[in-house]
Amino acid sequence: MESTQQLKPKDYRPKDYRSDVPPVWCAGCGDYGVLASLTTAFSVNNVTPVNTVLVSGIGCSSRLPYFVTTFGMHTCHGRSLPIATGLKLARPDLRVIVVGGDGDHFSIGGGHLPHVARKNIDLTLIVMDNSIYGLTKGQVAPTSRTGMVTTTTPYGSPDMPVNPIAYALVYGASFVAQSFSSNTRLTADLIGQAINHKGFAFINVISPCPTFNKIDTFDYYKPLLKNIDEIHTDKGDKVKALSIAMTMGRESGEIPVGLFYQEKRPTYVEMLNEIKIKNRGSNTPDLEKIVDIFKL
């Protein structure tokens, strides 16, 4: 007879975080590795599903919340970060993790990431970067290389691609890392560090699309990957982290993976609580009078 005893956090194994919904990604999709890394990180860090929420937008990678046993919110394209922000402010006790693709977070949702980063909202953002729009069949994406031929750029893309790491660093993310989806050990370790970090944690996971991106493949990336710890040990040095992000990448022939930067500073909720404490008992405005001003 199967035991009905409720699992304690320490008893959760990676497979216990997998739901009954089977992943529907294409065979060989890098997102499978991200899913495996996420459940491993949850297991290692004793994450309790009922206190955890995964928020996603639209895209292949944004299906991920269906495949795990935590709470999940499948939201509008590019709007997962503001929704996750509202959730975290309303329920600071919950662990909130946002997942999505490069299109979701650097294109239609690109205006939200800067503000979540600078405010240091206590969220973890995992971007599955495949440099293509996969769900809608192969359009050019924000991280697509210049000259890339896609269904929307038949003569080659004229655009300069977004630099995800530099983007996150400049806008003030307090934890910035990059990984490769098939390196599940590194990805799980970085996710574990990110979900335990107090503040906005950003991880760009290079996650090749085998169906619509025949250029940026697993075989292309593997010889280029370089452990950032070999060249960058002071994780509090933002200038060095930014320099590496700006000078190393596809064009240079070396792509650094690992933790780029981490700093400790108050989260947005902590700052709000500090303001409340400082103003407790002070001469606060009469809310009823304020409301009356806006009455017709």
pLDDT in tens, 192-231: 999 999 999 999 999 999 999 999 999 999 999 999 999 9
* Residue 87 structure tokens: 């959730």
Q: Residues 157, 133: contact at Cβ < 8 Å? A: no
Q: What is the largest CA-CA distance in the chain?
A: 67
Confidence of residue 10 (pLDDT cuts 50, 70, 90): low
Number of domains in the chain: 1
Domain at 266, CATH number? 3.40.50.970
Does residue 82 form part of some domain?
A: yes
CA distance 120 to 202: 11
Find where tokens 């040095």 sit. Answer: 237
**pLDDT above 70 covers what percent of the chain?**
92
Read off the pLDDT of residues 63-95 as tens digits, 9 standing for 90 and up.
999 999 999 999 999 999 999 999 999 999 999
Q: Quote helix, strand, coil % in the chain, to nearest 5.
A: 40, 15, 45
Does residue 285 form part of some domain?
A: yes
CA distance 167 to 125: 13
Helix axes 31-44, 184-196, angle to 10 degrees: 50
Does residue 166 form part of some domain?
A: yes
* Residue 260 structure tokens: 């780029």
3-state SS assignment for residue 133? strand
* Residue 210 structure tokens: 């085998």
3-state SS assignment for residue 111? coil
Does residue 199 form part of some domain?
A: yes
Q: What b/e string do you get for 38-72 counting C-beta neighbours within 10 Å, with b at 16 or more?
A: bbbbbbebebebeebbbbbbbbbbbbbbbbbbbbb
Nearest one of 91, 83, 78 to 127, comparing CA atoms:
78
Nearest one of 163, 165, 118 to 261, comparing CA atoms:
165
Does residue 1 form part of some domain?
A: no
CA distance 271 to 199: 11
What is the per-residue pLDDT for 36?
98
What is the per-residue pLDDT for 11?
80
Does residue 115 form part of some domain?
A: yes
Does residue 184 form part of some domain?
A: yes
Residue 248: pLDDT above 60? yes
Entry pTM = 0.91
Q: What b/e string do you get for 138-160 counting C-beta neighbours within 10 Å, with b at 16 or more?
A: bbbbbbbbeebebeebeeebeee
Does residue 3 form part of some domain?
A: no
Q: Which domain holds residue 289?
A: 9-293
Read off the pLDDT of residues 100-156 as tens digits, 9 standing for 90 and up.
999 999 999 999 999 999 999 999 999 999 999 999 999 999 999 999 999 999 999
**pLDDT above 90 covers what percent of the chain?**
87
Residue 291: pLDDT above 90? no
Q: Residues 109, 115: contact at Cβ < 8 Å? A: no
